[in-house]
Amino acid sequence: MNVIDTTPSLALVLAIGVLFAAGVYLLLERSLTRVLLGFILMGNGANLLFLVAGGRSGGAPLVGTTPEDEMSDPLVQAMVLTAIVITLGITAFVLAMAYRSWQLHGHDEVQDDLEDRRVARHAARNAPAFTDTDSEESGETLDDEAAQVRDETGTDSADGTDGTDGTDDAEGRTTREPR
Amino acid sequence: MTPDAAQYVVPLPVMLPLFAAGLTLALWRHSRAQRIITVVTLSAVVAISVVLLVAADSGPVVVDVGGWAAPVGIDLVADRLSALMLTVSSIVMLCVLLYSLAQGVADDAAGDDASIPTAIYHPTYMVLAAGVFNAFLSGDLFNLYVGFEVFLAASYVLLTLGGTGERIRAGSIYVVVALLSSVIFLVAIAVTYAATGTVNLAQLSERFADIDPGVRLVIQLLLLLAFGIKAAIFPLSAWLPDSYPTAPAPVTAVFAGLLTKVGVYAIIRTQTLLFPEGHADTVLMWLALLTMLVGILGAVAQNDIKRLLSFTLVSHVGFMIFGISLATEPGMSAAIFYVVHHITVQTTLFLVVGLVERRGGSTSLDRLGGLAKLAPGLAILFFIPAMNLAGIPPMSGFLGKLGLVQEGIAQDTWLTWVLVVGSVVTSLLTLYAIVKAWNKAFWQTAPAEIPTDTRLPRGMVGPAAALVVLGLGLTVVAGPLYAYSERAAGTLLDGHSYVDAVFSKGDRGEGESNEVATDEPPLEETGGTDEGGDG
């Protein structure tokens, strides 16, 4: 039954490689929009991979119009179509999420976990032994620095001294007005 | 009910929730109608899944969707494992739905800005159910992918309900990680199709034997990677404790109970059916060990009950992977039993923590206290599933762990001994973490003022209590349930009964487009082919 020429086309293979490389690079960004672009590129790379998996193109796969051994494989196209539809829906959702993030914070960057920071702060209080020798004169520890990284919800005090002040953020009650 | 008759109800667990989703979306102004529709739908699915549970015990129930015989058409297969997962998850989803309805009603009555906007909640919940059930029933790798995508898309919406800052933050991480695993899954399917020319699971199980072992290993690892992210196996689990706790309590509960288990189910299905030679078993053993230990150490460090429970969730996925990696019938049956136990207990705990949050105003262990005196009923509701999770005899958690440890010792290699020790240590640390939470939330004197006049709505306590009782009931029915798990594991490791059931019509499997399924019963000769471990 394997009459379809399944030798992959070099152009397609290279395109898949480039799409995936660019996609992975963008996926590692912090901005949701870039992450989304990365996902779209990777999704298209996967779609092309399906096309390669189906072999070279042939005639329309309709019984009676094309001899059976000249037909192209219709199944991969059906699967790619499904994947495209799914990607479209997810893209719309992520765009909405990025927009909401922009409404709330004025940017669409993925933020650090507040609870992680609280645990880091907790550790900073309990473990003075982990002192950063580079910044010893300022009395800062590595954990203090970890506790102060990126605070973008705006309401959490960044002084890193109070262990409980971020709770309101964690429950998602306080949000800023859209800018 | 015979498998012949049962095949007509196999698609219903997927179709009914999808219909209900459309209907509730159309009726978005009428929240009472929405509630009635969703509850009736899920109750019907529970009934159907019980029918399937009985029917599948005499052989896998196969239905060709659209009348096209496999492998041309897509088939839905309900074997023992699928039916068992279907039953447990539909019961749990029904309980969580009732809980969330009561919560919604209570919030409306209190004039609160409801944390769950009900108009969109019901349709999304139904889509989630359809996706999960589709994943359990699918007999086709691509259809499995579609099932995953359906419930993931619903889960994105549920996780970011209301669109508050914290939920958007947690949702971003969750969505990005889920998207990555979806792409990996898609790539795995493409490579599979390129290598074998099919995506039908039964046909794959036949054709994988003939392809290059290197390619087969690549596909196996790609699938493990994709499912491992969804099941939150250790190096791929960091997203879970970060994203789950911010969602509304019922949403967290249903996610914790079901979504990781769908990943575990997919691992069980693909590893047993497609890769029976088990090249990944050693890797899986190490991953199981690390998942158990790293997860539970994370839980010990937490100061918030929801996050603590999320870490125990990660940790206990390790037990299931342990059972899968043993790759024997006793190991697999213990893993299946453990999945059933864990779906129930983890969901219960998250629901009860939702009650604790309502009663005490917080989930932070620094702020809670004295709840045992204020709300003794709530204390009992928390204590029972907590002890069940830690594995105190004679509860179901103990029975599952006992099965795993026994088989680990029976295999008697140094690695399984390490795993046995690891699982015992994990159980002890689970007990420690849970007892710490119990002491702080229920026994210590309250550090802050806790309102004494709050009453928990009976509609929320009821479903949570029902799940607590269900968790205890697993002990009562442990004999038959464990025997069923053993038969399910026997079917899985045998492999032939699944393939025979899908291709039982004799003239099927040629791939000719004019071979539409006829009306003859497809399963008449399969009754004797499966050799479950009835002993």
**What does the pLDDT read at residue B2?**
56
- Looking at the predicted structure, is the pLDDT value of residue B380 above 70? yes
- Looking at the predicted structure, is the pLDDT value of residue A73 above 90? no
- Looking at the predicted structure, is the pLDDT value of residue A137 above 60? no
Mean pLDDT of all residues in B69-75: 81
Q: How far is A59 from chain B (nearest CA, A)?
A: 17
- Domains of chain B, by residue range, sit at 280-476
Element (H, E) at B62: strand B61-64
* Sign of the four-CA dihedral B338, B150, B99, B116: positive
Mean pLDDT of all residues in B247-275: 90
Pairwise CB contact (< 8 Å): B153 & A89 = yes
The CA-to-CA distance between both ends of chain B, in Å, stands at 23
Nearest to A45 by CA among A11, A84, A18: A18
Pairwise CB contact (< 8 Å): A6 & B180 = no
List Cβ neighbours of B322 (8 Å cut-off, separation of 6 or more).
B285, B288, B289, B292, B331, B335, B404, B408, B419, B423
**What does the pLDDT read at residue B116?**
54
**What does the pLDDT read at residue B106?**
63
Mean pLDDT of all residues in A48-72: 82
Q: How far is B252 from chain A (nearest CA, A)?
A: 14
| Buried residues in B322-341 as b, exposed as e (16+ CB within 10 A) | bbbbbbebbbbbbbbbbbbb
Q: Whole-model pTM?
A: 0.85
Mean pLDDT of all residues in B140-149: 93
Q: The tokens of B90 are what? A: 């539909």
Contact B162, B115 (CB under 8 A): yes
Query: What chain A residue is nearest to B113 in terms of C-alpha separation?
Result: A173
Q: How far is A140 from chain B (nearest CA, A)?
A: 23
- Looking at the predicted structure, is the pLDDT value of residue A158 above 70? no
Q: Contacts of residue B356 in chain A, CB cutoff 8 Å?
A: none
Mean pLDDT of all residues in A38-52: 92
Smallest Cβ distance to A46: which of B175, B190, B242? B190
Phi, psi angles (nearest 5°) of residue A59: -80, 175
Share of chain B above pLDDT 70, in %: 90
Q: How far is B167 from chain A (nearest CA, A)?
A: 7
**What does the pLDDT read at residue A163?**
40
Smallest Cβ distance to B183: which of A42, A79, A171? A42
pLDDT band at B155 (very low <50, low <70, confident <90, very high): very high
Mean pLDDT of all residues in A98-104: 88
| Inter-axis angle of helices B260-273 and B141-159, nearest 10 | 170
Phi, psi angles (nearest 5°) of residue A63: -65, 130
Q: The tokens of B453 are what? A: 């006049």
Q: What domains appear along chain A, each with residue ranges and CATH number?
A: 10-105 (1.10.287), 114-170 (no CATH)
Which amino acid appears at position A163 of this protein?
G
pLDDT band at B517 (very low <50, low <70, confident <90, very high): very low
Round the average pLDDT of chain A to a whole number and report it. Answer: 73
pLDDT band at B20 (very low <50, low <70, confident <90, very high): very high
**What does the pLDDT read at residue A169?**
42
Pairwise CB contact (< 8 Å): A167 & B190 = no
> Dihedral angle at the C-alpha atoms of A43, A49, A51, A55, nearest 10 degrees?
180
**What pLDDT digit, counting tens, does each position of B439-466 carry?**
888 888 777 777 766 777 888 888 889 9
- Looking at the predicted structure, is the pLDDT value of residue A21 above 90? yes
